[in-house]
Amino acid sequence: MKFNSYVVAKSCENLLKIIDPDVILVEEEYGFFERQLIVIAKKQNIPTIALQHGLIHLNHHGYITKDQTARENLPDITCLYGEADKELLLNHSIYSPDQLVVTGSPRYDIIYHADRIYSREKFCTGNNIPLNHQIILWTTQSHGMTDEENIRQLNLVFGACDGIPDITLVIKQHPGERKKHYRLIQSYRRRHSCNSLILPKDSDTFEALYASNLVITFHSTTGREAVAFKKPLIVLDPQDWGGYCREDVGILVSSIQEAKQVISRLLRDDKELAVNREKYISRYFFAIDGKSTERVAQVIEKVLPEKKLKSSIFEKIRM
């Protein structure tokens, strides 16, 4: 879809005029609409805050740029997942230290409470998975690959899972995948012997991560989330854009035989990866303590005019 810059700018101006906000909070800062909103808000001296949106890597053009003229597009503050993301932006982009605050991600507060929210037994029963099976969760990214790349990964994953006893391969598609990707995966399910299923696209990824025994991904954010859930991780991306192999929390596989061996080994004992998880969580999540939302609220409070603080956002969240 093509956007008309003038129309979007006028829409943002009208929106701010009607709402008259004290602060702007966006869930990501590099979308076309969000950038227009940030630019116009800053011209009106309205503080702008953004939450980090997914993984940041050197090839992420939404975050990584050396174009100094793009500074006007940046929010006043970006709340980051962890220190590793802050280091990356300071070393390879145009952000300044005062624009970056490490808070952890509010969406990951749920991980801290996962044991009270999710049930592996309920997940298995609801998806007709034998309770004695170990679950291999594969989070696909078919929409960003060629047909040849997708076929190679399908051959690898299904080929590796065939013959491993008492496992179920659970496939969680990326929301951006299309019907042709679903049909392709289904065709591989029919021709392979391993027990497998495709979850609905709108199913809860965190529930699937919680219930899983091992996670496979290309370079999805779900790899980072798998580490937070303390699951062993297999990576299919030879370039390791997610950095999981570099940080020794994931293992790269490139052949069916290699994948079969690694899966079998990690399902028995994942201590080779477990030893690095706490350090990784500290660098990339700040902390899994259920308090990231509170830290973001504190950032908002700091930029609000004093006269607007009739009651504390922070205290409301605590209540």
Q: How confident is the model at residue 4 (pLDDT cuts 50, 70, 90)?
A: confident
pLDDT value, residue 54: 86
- Residue 3: pLDDT over 70: no
| 198-255 residue pLDDT tens | 999 899 999 999 999 999 999 999 999 999 999 999 999 999 989 999 999 999 999 9
Mean predicted lDDT score pLDDT of the chain: 92
25-42 average pLDDT score: 93
Q: So what's the pLDDT on residue 18?
A: 94
Find the Cα–Cα–Cα–Cα dihedral 283, 57, 221, 138, rounded to 10°. -120
Superfamily designation of domain 116-284: Glycogen Phosphorylase B; (3.40.50.2000)
SS (H, E, C) the chain: CCCCHHHHHHHHHHHHHHHCCCCEEECCCCCHHHHHHHHHHHHCCCCEEEECCCCCCCCCCCCCCCCHHHHHHCCCEEEECCHHHHHHHHHHCCCCHHHEEECCCHHHHHHHCHHHHCCHHHHHHHCCCCCCCEEEEEECCHHHCCHHHHHHHHHHHHHHHCCCCCEEEEEECCCCCCHHHHHHHHHHHHHCCCEEEECCCCCCHHHHHHHCCEEEECCCHHHHHHHHCCCCEEECCCCCCCCCCCCCCEEECCCHHHHHHHHHHHHHCCHHHHCCHHHHHHHHHCCCCCCHHHHHHHHHHHHCCHHHCCCCHHHHHHC
**31 pLDDT higher than 80:** yes
Q: In the structure, what pLDDT confidence band is assigned to residue 125 with cuts at 50, 70 and 90? A: very high
Tell me the pLDDT tens digit for each residue of 180-195. 999 999 999 999 999 9
Structural domain boundaries in the chain: 5-108+290-318, 116-284
Please give the pLDDT value at position 286: 93
Asked if pLDDT for residue 313 goes beyond 90, the answer is no
Tell me what the mean pLDDT of segment 270-294 comes to: 95
CA atoms within 13 A on the CB side of 279: 9
Quote the pLDDT of residue 72. Answer: 87
Indicate the pLDDT class of residue 1, thresholds 50, 70 and 90. very low
Q: Given pLDDT bands bounded at 50, 70 and 90, which one contains residue 6?
A: confident
Question: Which position has the higher pLDDT, 93 or 57?
Answer: 93
- What percent of the chain clears pLDDT 90, i.e. is strictly above it? 84
4 against 297, higher pLDDT:
297
